[in-house]
Structure 1
Amino acid sequence: MDVNCTLIECLDAKDNKRVLFNFLILDAPSPSSLPAYLKALQRRQVRHLVRVCGPTYDATLVEKNGIEVHSWPFDDGAPPPRGVLESWFRLLDTEKAHLDSGDIKQPATIAIHCVAGLGRAPILVAVALVEYGGLAPLDTITLIRERRRGAINQTQMHWLVKYKRRGGNGGGCAIM
């Protein structure tokens, strides 16, 4: 079984050869497709799986395979609420700090999924590209849509265009 996924690298602006994060956008696995998903996640050395929809599988099976599951569901078609954003940035800040300190040698690969991998998951990646990559919102949307057709609806796009960055994280991101 093929897993429908899109890999996006986030590069450091100060050193555009340094990857800060690898994001893997997915649709939601079902109990029957979970073994194939686990193989795909392990092949890509995923350390975190962020679920932004309701549960469709047993997260303990994922965690038994060494992947930490974060469940931050929010409404389909909506932008992420403040609590989800705070949790998302906390995860990214922690992973970036581990990379900066040398605690880890390779950037984290973080898989993110919603039901179809077209709305909630891509909007989290998009806001990360704006925050950590310093990309303009519309450029970020264009990059994601080039790889994942139909990603990010009009409501989410308007939210991202109005989004104000937290501060100078710097960086540059590229779709791989």
Structure 2
Amino acid sequence: MDAPARDNASDYALQLSMIGVKHLVRTCEGNYDERVFESKGIKIHDLYFQDGTVPSRSKISVWLNLIKETFIEKTSIVNENQYIAVHCLAGLGRAPVLVGIALIEYGMESHNAISLIRSNRPGALNSQQVRLLMSYRRTKTLTSKSCCAIW
């Protein structure tokens, strides 16, 4: 998704909380008050990397650990029905590449993940990001099936 701004952060926070988002991953600098999201029970995770690039292996590892903790290592009923939202500035590069990695980790073929993302976000993913997704190999850390929504 694209980045919330000061004037619409409360709308984003309300919409995300209504669908059960408990984690907001931000891949760009935040231009909004984090407390707006925290007041709705949404924890912000900074996973910044440069616009137009791909995440480093360490960033991918952090991303996969968050997914694993949220969807696979459910240790209590409190963790039921939690979702993750991820945003970059325009919602066309950094966020979609992380979503693509997650889809591939859950067993989707690279080209299908790219097609799904682009059908929901026309213009998403530059050539460098597509190359990463096409060459990305599953780590087999994520095996549980969960829901994915792309805005």
Fold match by TM threshold 0.5: yes
Task: Give the structure 2 partner of residue 71 of structure 1.
Answer: 46
- Specify every segment of 5 or more residues in structure 1 that has no aligned partner in the other structure, as ranges: 1-25
Q: Does 1:81 align with 2:56?
A: yes
Task: Give the drift of 1:168.
Answer: 6.1
**C-alpha spacing 1:170/1:94, structure 2 compared with 1 (3 Å):** closer
SS of the counterpart of 1:41? helix
Aligned pair 1:110/2:84, yes or no? yes
1:159 alignment partner in structure 2: 132
1:57 is aligned to: 32
Aligned to 1:95: 70
In the alignment, which residue of structure 2 is the partner of 1:119?
93
* Contact 1:127/1:160 (<8 A) preserved: yes
Structure 2 residue aligned with 1:40, among 4, 12, 15?
Answer: 15
Match of 1:135 in 2: 108
Relative to structure 1, the CA distance from residue 38 to residue 169 in structure 2 (aligned partners, 3 Å threshold; closer, same or farther) is closer
- State the alpha-carbon separation in 2 of the partners of residues 147 and 126 from structure 1: 12
- Percent identity between the two aligned chains: 36
The structure where strand makes up a greater share of residues is 1
Shift of 1:152: 1.1
Letter of the 2:113 counterpart: T
SS state of the match for residue 77, structure 2? coil
Aligned-partner SS, 1:70:
strand
**Structure 1 or 2: more helix by fraction:** 2
Which runs of 5 or more residues in structure 2 are unaligned?
A: none
Compute the RMSD of aligned alpha carbons: 2.0
Aligned residues: 149
Q: Conserved in 2, the CA contact under 8 Å of 1:46 and 1:110?
A: yes
Report the residue type matching 2:47 in the other structure: W
How many Å separate the matches in 1 of 2:40 and 2:72? 24
- C-alpha separation in 2, matches of 1:110 and 1:60: 17
Does the Cα contact within 8 Å between 1:144 and 1:175 map onto a contact in 2?
A: no
Distance change (3 Å), C-alpha of 1:168 and 1:47: closer
Taking a change above 3 Å as real, the CA distance of residues 172 and 137 of structure 1, as seen in their structure-2 partners, is: farther
Distance 1:143 1:174, change over 3 A: farther
Q: Which has the higher contact order (CA 8 A, sep 6+)?
A: 1
Deviation per residue, 1:106-139 (Å, 9 max, x gap): 43211110001110001101100101x2011111
Using the alignment, how far apart are the partners of 2:123 and 2:42 within structure 1? 28
